[in-house]
Amino acid sequence: MVKKILEPFLQPKSINPQHGVFSIDLVLIMIVSIITIPYIFYNIRNLVPHPVESTLKLKDYYILLILLVYIVIGVYQQYFWTKTNKLREKSIIHTTKLDDFVNSIFGINDNWTYIYNFIYYFVFGLIIVTIRDYKHFAMLVLGGIAMMTGLTIIWYIFPNAVNSRMKPNNYFLKKTQIIDDNENNSCPSAHVAFAMYSYYLLRHVIGNMPALLVPILISISCLTTTQHICTDVILGILYTILFYNYILKKIDKKIFN
């Protein structure tokens, strides 16, 4: 009985071997980041416009970043799960005149992957300068997990993808498209949703306008690399605005202020 229920989930077709696979170069980048970034952030934490009162030491920054790296990797398995687990066949999200307008300004450029991938995850690390203590860290992480769970439900019930993506020359965008295929979860954009989440967490520390640059640049990078279209971006922004203000703030106004 139990075997029969679990059988669909155990079939090889439900597993994409490319999802979550890290090549040695990406692992080396991750190791270098873990070694250097906590030291950098620890030394700039009092240089930001609005420093946070914190008793965290340098070793705590290393602990938090290591935890954050593996938590992000773990939570993103929900994202990859929806690639092959969905309630119905995916729908294609088509471009609009707004996409034509944006493309006429920024064009299509695979070099924006350095913002789409590297700056995006660098900002995740930068959030450490906002942390007051370990409970604060845990609450922000739980907020992120809750947001990803909400997105997972949307992608499972309403699977979707962009019509097509560019064939890049950029090495890192090629790797991104191998790991992250175009089978589901383009809308709302997770990149944009979490860039907006970063904005909310960083605005009281680095200032409103610098923090606002995070979702702006990430949104442009999503469009110029053709990983997303304007509909994905706009709904990603709206998703976080609603989730942060009407769910996370209800949980803890002091943390999610």
In a domain, 85, yes or no: yes
Number of domains in the chain: 1
Residue 84 counted as domain residue: yes
**Per-residue pLDDT averaged across 126-147, rounded?**
96
End-to-end CA distance of the chain: 49
**What digits encode the pLDDT tens for the residues 188-201?**
999 999 999 999 99
pLDDT of residue 124: 86
Q: Note down the domain range covering 138.
A: 22-251
For residue 93, give the DSSP letter: E
pLDDT at residue 89, rounded to an integer: 95
**Does residue 202 lie within any of the structural domains?**
yes
Q: Is residue 13 part of a domain?
A: no
- At 162, which helix (H) or strand (E)? strand 160-162
Residue 12 domain flag: no
**Whether residue 6 has pLDDT greater than 50:** no
Q: How confident is the model at residue 20 (pLDDT cuts 50, 70, 90)?
A: very low
Confidence of residue 10 (pLDDT cuts 50, 70, 90): very low
pLDDT tens, residue by residue, 215-243: 999 999 999 999 999 999 999 999 999 99
- Average pLDDT over all residues of the chain: 90
Q: Are 213 and 236 in contact (CB under 8 A)?
A: no
> Rounded mean pLDDT of 248-256?
93
In a domain, 1, yes or no: no
Which whole number is the average pLDDT over 125-154?
96
What does 128-171 look like in DSSP terms, one character per residue?
GGG--SHHHHHHHHHHHHHHHHHHHHHHHHS-EEES------SH
Q: Do the domain assignments include residue 256?
A: no
Domain contains 232: yes
Q: How confident is the model at residue 21 (pLDDT cuts 50, 70, 90)?
A: low
The residues that bridge with 162 in the sheet, in sequence order, are 93
Q: Which two tokens stand for residue 11?
A: 């079939």
Where are the extended beta strands (E) located within 158-249?
160-162
Residue 3 has pLDDT above 90, yes or no: no
Q: What is the pLDDT of residue 178?
A: 86
